[in-house]
Structure 1
Amino acid sequence: MSITARATPMPGQRDDGTRSYSLDVALLLDDSSWAVASNYKDSALFSDAVALQGLQIDTARYRLNQAERAFGLRVLYSHGSSAAPYEKTVLTLYRRDDKQILPLLEGLVVDESAGEFGWGGECSGHSRILHRTLATGPGQHHGYADLIVRSRELKTEHFKGRDGCGSRDLPASTSTVTLHYDGSRYPIPGSLKGP
């Protein structure tokens, strides 16, 4: 089988420039357009100053137990300002349940980069890069493996020196969080969802 995902703009656009998108995720029989399982949601994604850029299927081996595997969908967003650049990638995990595709984990920010610089093109400012990995752990709750989220964040100071623009990395910070299946999904702490 193959996986497809499609985001479609919903009719109308709000006065503040915000746009919403429906999201259609499906499992198709190989070499056909026949959907054996699907998930459709109106206004599933939102785009404002941080614009929706694209979708990526994540087929990493998220083994939930001996019989089931999950697959992921990564949603890419960006804001291209030179004074305040911002990008993020948000991961949702799904599992198949007969003719349905059910979300297991929603809204996990796996990559994020941001910066704040002067409006006149000055060198001074600061930036940060956050990267998270997701893996199944040895523990189980309600028949599904725990998910281990490892985060690494690097902050950088930018400045104007005698020889032009310079930068200095601060010590990286790391953390690990274990997510437990509650019988219907993996709840995510707000600190892992980002803005």
Structure 2
Amino acid sequence: MKSIGMAIMKRAVIFVVAALAPLIAHAGCSDNLQNWSARLHPDHTLDATHAVCKVWPANAALTIGALPLMQKGSADGPNVVDIEVVVADTATGAIIAHRFQRSAIRYAEDHYFEGIDLDTARYQLTSTQRAFGVRLKSSGGPPADMSGIATLSLYLIDGQHLRTVLDRLIVSDWTGDRDGPCTSISETSRTLALGPPDTQGYAVLRVSEKYVERVNRLEVDKCSGHTSPAQRRNITLDYRDGTYRIPDAMRNAD
């Protein structure tokens, strides 16, 4: 009985250590954000509040990071932010591959930068290449004319560099109109799914788009809402010349 009890205790300890491993790794990756910024862009100021990193579930030996960098002396003002996307060794923090994108985030004067999400869904673009995503969000505006936008970019590791294969597809675009205490919102949202491989071996990207209007009006001292039937359509993005082609209306261009 004593040996069984010891074995159970040992298994419990192993389980706890395994459960805590991602948290420990995440703490370590957060410590590296400033180091990565200082090494790659010593003349830039890191927006530490919005910098993010996480261990890649598809390969725990790798950690993904996204560093928002304030532009120095930008003629566009504070509402233009550069992004450095990093893939590093989880154990050491050493940078394996990275990509810098100038003016990756642009938002209106009365808006604010809402944040970055690292998207590690199963973007298996070829039989041997798996991408990860970076989502950028901003929103704001006066009550009578609010709006927000979120974009998705996909990256592949290509030697010591990252290759952008999907550049800022708009995955959420909404506007709000406040009438007294009631707010009406119109929103277009898009989701991605992988289709069969094309002639180059890359999976076709299938975009499902949905547009919805939610109208709220004041009726007898309370807001009464009505949601219009969703308008849907499907779009296919083909891989050509090293990237997925996005229609202009669906891309947050420079």
Fold-level similarity (TM above 0.5): yes
Contact 1:13 1:19 in 2 (8 A): no
Contact 1:141 1:182 in 2 (8 A): no
1:43 to 103, 106, 109: 103
Contact 2:137 2:149 in 1 (8 A): yes
- Paired residue total: 191
Q: Provide the residue aligned with 1:153 in structure 2.
A: 211
Contact 2:151 2:252 in 1 (8 A): no
CA distance in structure 2 between the aligned counterparts of 1:149 and 1:160, rounded to whole angstroms:
36
TM-score by length of 2: 0.69
Max Rg structure: 2
Q: Structure 1 residues 151, 159: closer, same or farther in 2, change over 3 A?
A: same
Q: Which runs of 4+ in 1 moved over 6 A?
A: none
CA distance in structure 1 between the aligned counterparts of 2:163 and 2:104, rounded to whole angstroms:
14
More strand by share: 1
Contact 2:131 2:155 in 1 (8 A): yes
C-alpha deviation, 1:40, in angstroms? 1.4
CA distance in structure 1 between the aligned counterparts of 2:203 and 2:213, rounded to whole angstroms:
32
C-alpha deviation, 1:79, in angstroms? 0.7
The residue correspondences of 1:74-89 to structure 2 (distance < 5 A) are 74-89=135-150
The residue correspondences of 1:114-133 to structure 2 (distance < 5 A) are 114-118=175-179, 121=180, 123=182, 126-133=184-191
C-alpha deviation, 1:23, in angstroms? 1.1
The residue correspondences of 1:29-108 to structure 2 (distance < 5 A) are 29-49=89-109, 50-108=111-169
C-alpha deviation, 1:51, in angstroms? 2.4
Post-superposition Cα deviations, 1:137-181, rounded to whole Å, max 9, x if no partner, equal 024142211000001121122212124221111111111101000
Contact 1:71 1:95 in 2 (8 A): yes
CA distance in structure 1 between the aligned counterparts of 2:215 and 2:66, rounded to whole angstroms:
38
CA distance in structure 1 between the aligned counterparts of 2:181 and 2:101, rounded to whole angstroms:
44
Aligned partner of 1:74: which letter? R
Q: Provide the residue aligned with 2:64 in structure 1.
A: 3
Ranges in structure 1 where 5+ consecutive residues have no aligned partner: none
CA distance in structure 2 between the aligned counterparts of 1:146 and 1:104, rounded to whole angstroms:
12
Contact 1:92 1:105 in 2 (8 A): yes
CA distance in structure 2 between the aligned counterparts of 1:113 and 1:141, rounded to whole angstroms:
36
More helix by share: 2
Contact 2:126 2:197 in 1 (8 A): no
Matched, 1:184 2:184: no
Ranges in structure 2 where 5+ consecutive residues have no aligned partner: 1-61
CA distance in structure 2 between the aligned counterparts of 1:159 and 1:173, rounded to whole angstroms:
22
C-alpha deviation, 1:80, in angstroms? 4.8
C-alpha deviation, 1:183, in angstroms? 2.7
CA distance in structure 2 between the aligned counterparts of 1:138 and 1:94, rounded to whole angstroms:
19
Contact 1:150 1:176 in 2 (8 A): yes
Contact 1:72 1:92 in 2 (8 A): yes
C-alpha deviation, 1:17, in angstroms? 4.5
TM-score by length of 1: 0.89
